[in-house]
Chains A and B, each alone.
Chain A
Amino acid sequence: GIQVEQSPPDLILQEGANSTLRCNFSDSVNNLQWFHQNPWGQLINLFYIPSGTKQNGRLSATTVATERYSLLYISSSQTTDSGVYFCAVRGSNYKLTFGKGTLLTVNP
C-alpha cells in the first residue's frame, strides 16, 4: 500500500512565527487531504488538494503530484494552531492512508 511520511514529527514555535509541514507519499494519489486534530480528537478538514496550490487565510497548501509531496504552510501562527496535523492520501482504493502527523505547539 501507499506509504505516507510526514516531517517534522514535532515542531515548537513562538506565536507569530511561520512554519512548513511536509508530506511525502510513495505512489500516485487521487485524493490528498490535510487535517488538524484538535485536543478533543476531532479531525478538522483544512484542504482537499490532490494537486496545485490553495490558500485559506493564514494557511496554504501546495501539492506537487509528479514529485509525490505536499506542503502545508502556516503563517503568523497562533496558540490555537496547536495540535496534530495529518496528511492523508487515497490511491487505487477507497481508503485514506494517514501519515503519523506533525505535533505543533505554539507558545505565547
Chain B
Amino acid sequence: KAGVTQTPRYLIKTRGQQVTLSCSPISGHRSVSWYQQTPGQGLQFLFEYFSETQRNKGNFPGRFSGRQFSNSRSEMNVSTLELGDSALYLCASSLAGGLLAKNIQYFGAGTRLSVL
C-alpha cells in the first residue's frame, strides 16, 4: 500500500507570492492533517480535514488555508508569502473516526518551502 505522498518535495518562492501544496493520503484514509515545522517553533498543527470538512484549525493567520477533495486528497495554500513561512510542511493521514477511536497518523515526506 502506498504511503502518504506530498508534492512538490521542494519549493522556492519569493515574498508576496502564493503557493499550493498537495497531499495524497494512504488509500482508504479519510482524514488529512497539515503541520508546519520550523527550527524555532517546532511542529505545529495547521488544520485537519475529514470528508471534505475542516474539523479543527490551529493558530495560524488566514493566509493559510486548505481544502479536501472527495477522493480525500488535500491541498493547502499560503497566500502573500512571508520570510517566516519558510518551513517543512508535513501532511498526515489517518483512518479517522471519533475522538476516542484508534487514530494513528502516518506522515508524508514533507514539502520544504523556502521563501526568499
Interface residues of A (CB under 8 A from B): 30-31, 33, 35, 40-43, 45, 48, 86, 88, 90, 92-101
Contacts and interface: CB of A to CB of B under 8 A. Distances in A.
Contact of A48 (B33, B43, B56, B102): B102
Contacts of A101: 42
A48 B45 CA distance: 19
> Main SS of the interface on chain B?
strand
Contacts of A45: 104, 106-107
A33 B104 contact: yes
Interface in B77-108: 88, 90, 92, 99-100, 102-108
Contacts of B67: none
A30 B35 CA distance: 19
Contacts of A98: 35, 42-44
B29 to A, nearest CB: 13
Interface of B: 31, 33, 35, 37, 42-45, 48, 50, 55-56, 58, 88, 90, 92, 99-100, 102-110, 112
B104 A41 contact: no
Given A41-B88, A41-B109, A43-B90, A90 B103 contact: yes
Contacts of B108: 42
Contacts of A90: 103
Contacts of B110: 41-42
A40 B10 CA distance: 12
A100 B42 contact: yes
A101 B38 CA distance: 13
Nearest to B90: A43
Contact of A42 (B33, B43, B55, B109): B109
A95 B107 contact: no
Contacts of A92: 99
A43 B90 CA distance: 9
B105 A96 contact: yes
Given A41-B88, A41-B109, A43-B90, A31 B103 contact: yes
A97 B99 CA distance: 14
B48 A94 contact: yes
Contacts of A43: 90, 92, 107
